[in-house]
Structure 1
Amino acid sequence: MTVRARPRTGIGVRLLVPLATGTILNPVNTTLISVALIPIGQAFGVGPDRTAWLVSGLYLGSALGQPVVGLLVDRFGARRTLVGGSLLTLAAGLVALLPVSIGWLVGLRLVIGIGTSAAFPAAMAVLRRHSGAETSGGALAVLAVCSQAVAAVGPALGGLLVSAFGWQAVFVVNAPLAVVVLALTLLWVPRDRSATTPDTPVDLAGIGLFSVALLAVMLLLMFPAPRNLWLLAPAALAAGLLVPVTRRARAPFLHLGPSIVVGPLLRTYLRQALTFLVLYAVLFGYVQWLDTSRGLSEAGTGLLLLPLSGTAVLFSAIPFRLSTWVRLTGAAAVLTGAVVALAFVDGRTPLVVLLAMNVLFGVSQGLVSLASQTVLYRQAHPDAIGIASGLFRTAQFLGAIGAATVIGACFRDGATTPALHALAVVLAVASALLVALTALDRALRASPEWQ
């Protein structure tokens, strides 16, 4: 397949600022809500089982929205899509001033997930258009650092907003943030043109079938019980119908470019899902154990986790002069070692050992953040960078949902030390699989043939 030459003007600060600002909206919303769940439950008289949907709603909206928004980036351009996503997020933030019910708020979180999904695929597409296949590592590092940093400060920011303005503020804050992104996009992101001809119909059937299959799988992961196995039927039916629909479509929804890039991309998505399954399970499961079995206060737990967050930000910011294969393999090995160590901690483990283990988790998270984005950037075909980036984020959210399922299975009797050890065993298996999948992937050592 021939790749058309595009004018490249480089990545300047004015271009990078709106892209980086936009990419913080989705990760900050994933953690911002955590401190507002209890007051929201009290306001509407519902328990944790209902307020948990506020977390799941964003996950569902983001996981379903990322690839669809990515298609819009490829079809209609990054700038247009980023403007549309900002307007949708702005509207959701303003509508939150009318809190009708808990279901209404879950719906708003779903919309916020879709609206904030525009930034990452759009940013990757803009970087590709203006710098080519080998973009500056600094630009990708900025995106990685922004995501890491805002996710770390999300709970603290949420606490300040709730204390000062009430729980509604964690929704309404999206309005001014979206206005900032919208203004910066209109000012500094260059106008773009569609990647395909305007008269080519959008593959609505493909989008619908993909969404049904993904939604069924996600619901089964969120509620793993024998009575919910029926969800496999619509998932299998939708997936089966998606194949002939994709073949007949003039511009198929799931077209990732030449077949030479599809295999490497699918392995990249699988690594992303496995990595975040382990990282999210450690973050949320380990924190519960620190609060209950270890007996630390919330403030003490937060301080103990600071090395994890700080190290993750630091290692995602450093442009190591190592190949992505070395960085990803090293990150997987470090993650495996830290998870194995988790299987031996108990209530008497010295705090310095826990701190050292947290540093290892932070190193792995930081290394994999930048390296994975670099691999995605190089593997994705220029004409499909939007949907490829969207599916990349979808894989991350699937990993997060899988982590919640694993934690629920291991901690069904509480966050005890034996439960933590059981969780560590499961995560060690997943980490070992991640090491093998990374170390044996020859595509990580070579450039795609289309380049």
Structure 2
Amino acid sequence: MTERTTTAPTGARRAGPPALDRRLVPPMVLGSVLNPINSTVIAVALVPIGAALGASPAQTAWLVSALYLATALGQPVVGRLIDLFGPRRLFLASTSLVGVAGVVGTLAPNLGTLIAARVVLGFGTCAGYPAAMALLRAESRRTGQESPAGVLTLLAVANQTVAVVGPLLGGLLTGLGGWRSTFALNIPLSLLAVTLGALRLPRPEAEPAKPDQAGHPDEADQAGRADQPDEAGQADGGPGPLRRIDLPGMALFAVLLLSLLLFLMHPHADRWYLPPLTLAAAAAFTRRERRTAQPFIDVRVLGGNTPLLLTYARALAAYVVAYAFLYGFAQWTEEGFGLTPLQAGLVQAPTFLVGIGVSVLAGRRGGVRTTLLVGAAGQIAACLLMLALGAHSPLWALVVLAVVFGIPQGANGLALQNSVFRQSDPARTGSSAGLLRTFAYLGSMVAAAATAAAYGPHAGTAGMHHLAWVMLAAAVLFLLLTAFDRTLRALPAAAG
């Protein structure tokens, strides 16, 4: 992506390194929260939707799963397109889809149309986070800052804040305007995102691509100029833009991921064909990516980037714990402990509030390894507390658990995000950031399967303890992956 050059205001100029372009911050933050706000705002609207459209809970659950499936697939795909063509056009196109999905969902006559709207919404929200990371990479190069830590922290805090206000906002909208208002919300959000993106995101610039050490044009410099033709009519003096998109690789990746996610969502014997399909797609995908000149995911580079692979593995383990707590433990507080939905939501509120504070503190002072170790310790402590709880535990014990879970909630997301920013190939920042979100959603699916297996028809205390043991195993794995990863010591503490 071509970096944006900013001009100092008229008058005296300050000596020193250039500052990050603050005009980019609003569209980056808004784009990155479009997905999490749509993940949480619908939670309280599922029951009214089912009542209005005559759908069962199992059917309305597809409104959640459809968004996760589309996002898990779309994030790395859109991220790769951002790497190739720059963030501006992908950001504008995707956030426009958010508005389209809002209109379709608001007017939907049946559940099938609503599910289709959520799929479109999932793809529409895919560009925000990879675009933000790609913009930060460009600003890092322009300003000479190794990591724009302040904005990285702001992105993490914004996502934490959305997790707090999303269900509350959904309840307010549903109460005032019915469940359709949770879809209509996306119309003004889309208009605002498109407007900010059009006004503030840098346009591609026509300038020569800088050759790398091998004499080839730098892919990161090509990204913002994909539509600038050379004398031969081809972009960047090489293959045309469309020829640089690895459509077969993307298709194989889609088959691989969808078959895996569909099995994780409902791991039953009647879906025996999905794991073999996943393995076959994985083999074909790897073969394709190793042989093509412009791979969607460069498995040779990714395979040699052990630190980044370990970060993805940590993300998978961390989000198994996080999602199992957010949904599985909440289910027990209602069915096994006897709280109302409102009370259950209030009990979990400290998790997100503490998480915001931890993100801010870690963003200012903590190194990546230290922050990950703090998050690992918080996960293990919280899982042990879950094992000590029962139906007759005092209410304050649940609140204490929520506070403890806030520590990894704030620490892990920020540290994983910073790890990907520092460990990924600069030319593939967008797709690397997208893959981080994909592994997070894989963790959510594993958590959902573990929750279903632990509880069965009723979320009782015994099932909650079984779930806690699964969470504890994932938390210990997270700790081991962190403690024995020596490459984390080379990552500097936050600065800037």
Q: Percent identity?
A: 40
Query: Aligned residue for 1:419?
Result: 463
Tell me the distance in 2 between the aligned counterparts of 1:270 and 1:411: 26
Conserved? CA contact 1:7–1:130, under 8 Å: no
Look up the match of 1:143: 155
Matching of residue 83 in structure 1 with residue 126 in structure 2: no
Is 2:75–2:438's contact at 8 Å kept on the other side of the alignment? yes
Amino acid at match of 1:357: L
CA-based RMSD: 2.0
Among 313, 324, 334, the residue aligned to 1:281:
324
1:239 Cα shift?
1.1
Equivalent position of 1:18 in the other structure: 27
> Secondary structure at 1:419's aligned position in 2?
helix
Distance 2:436 2:264 in 1: 18
User: How far does residue 261 in structure 1 lie from its aligned partner after superposition?
Assistant: 5.8
Aligned to 1:185: 197
Aligned equivalents of 1:261, 1:11: Cα separation in 2: 32
Q: CA deviation at 1:346?
A: 0.8
Q: Does 1:263 align with 2:272?
A: no
Letter in 2 for 1:41: G
Letter in 1 for 2:360: A
Structure-2 change in CA distance of 1:258 and 1:241 (3 Å): closer
In the TM superposition, residue 254 of structure 1 has moved relative to its aligned partner by 0.5
Aligned length, in residue pairs: 446
Question: Is residue 106 of structure 2 the alignment partner of residue 97 of structure 1?
Answer: yes
Contact kept, 8 Å, 2:367 with 2:491, in 1: the verdict is: no
Matched, 1:62 2:71: yes
> In structure 1, how many angstroms separate the alpha carbons of the residues matched to 2:350 and 2:489?
31
TM-score if structure 2 supplies the norm length? Answer: 0.86
Kept in 2: contact 1:93–1:175 (CA 8 A)? yes
294-303 vs 105-114, which moves further: 294-303
Tell me the TM-score normalized by structure 1. 0.95
CA deviations 1:309-355 (Å, max 9, x no partner) are 10011111222423211110121121111101101101222222222
What secondary structure, in the 3-state scheme, does the structure 1 residue paired with 2:311 have?
helix
The within-5 A match list for 1:243-262 is 243-255=286-298, 258=301, 262=305
Contact 1:11 1:139 in 2 (8 A): no
Q: Which moved more, 1:143-152 or 1:288-297?
A: 288-297
Partner of 1:355: 399
**Corresponding residue SS for 1:24:** helix
Moved runs in structure 1, 4+ residues, more than 3 A?
3-10, 256-261
C-alpha displacement at 1:92, in angstroms? Answer: 1.2
CA gap 1:6/1:161 in 2 versus in 1, 3 angstroms: closer
Where does structure 1 lack aligned partners over 5 or more consecutive residues? none
Maintained 8 Å contact 1:256/1:387? no
What is the distance in 2 between the residues matched to 1:22 and 1:246? 30
Q: Confirm or deny: 8 A CA contact 1:261 1:379 kept in the other structure.
A: no
Contact 2:3 2:139 in 1 (8 A): no
**Aligned-partner Cα distance in 2 for 1:125–1:214:** 24
DSSP-derived class of the 1:11 partner: coil
Contact 2:104-2:114 within 8 A present in 1 as well? no
Cα distance between partner residues in 2 of 1:91 and 1:405:
32
Q: 2:442 aligns with which of 398, 411, 435?
A: 398
Distance (Å, rounded) in 2 between the aligned partners of 1:205 and 1:260: 20
Deviations 1:162-216 (Å, cap 9, x if unpaired)?
1111111111211110111111111112223542646143110000001101100
Equivalent residue for 1:369, pick from 394, 407, 413: 413
Q: Please give the alpha-carbon distance, in whole angstroms, between the structure 1 residues aligned to 2:111 and 2:82.
A: 32
1:41 paired residue number? 50
Change (3 A) 1:117 1:259: closer
Query: Matches of residues 313-328 of structure 1 in structure 2 within 5 Å?
Result: 313-318=356-361, 319-328=363-372
Equivalent residue for 1:380, pick from 424, 432, 446 = 424
Distance 1:82 1:22, change over 3 A: same
Q: Which of 243, 252, 269 does residue 226 from structure 1 map onto?
A: 269
Matched residues in 2 for 1:382 and 1:165: separation? 45
Given that 1:376 and 1:389 are in contact with CA atoms closer than 8 Å, whether structure 2 keeps it comes out as yes
Structure 2: gaps (5+ residues): 7-17, 206-221, 227-235
> Structure 1 stretch 360-369 or stretch 88-97: which is displaced more?
88-97
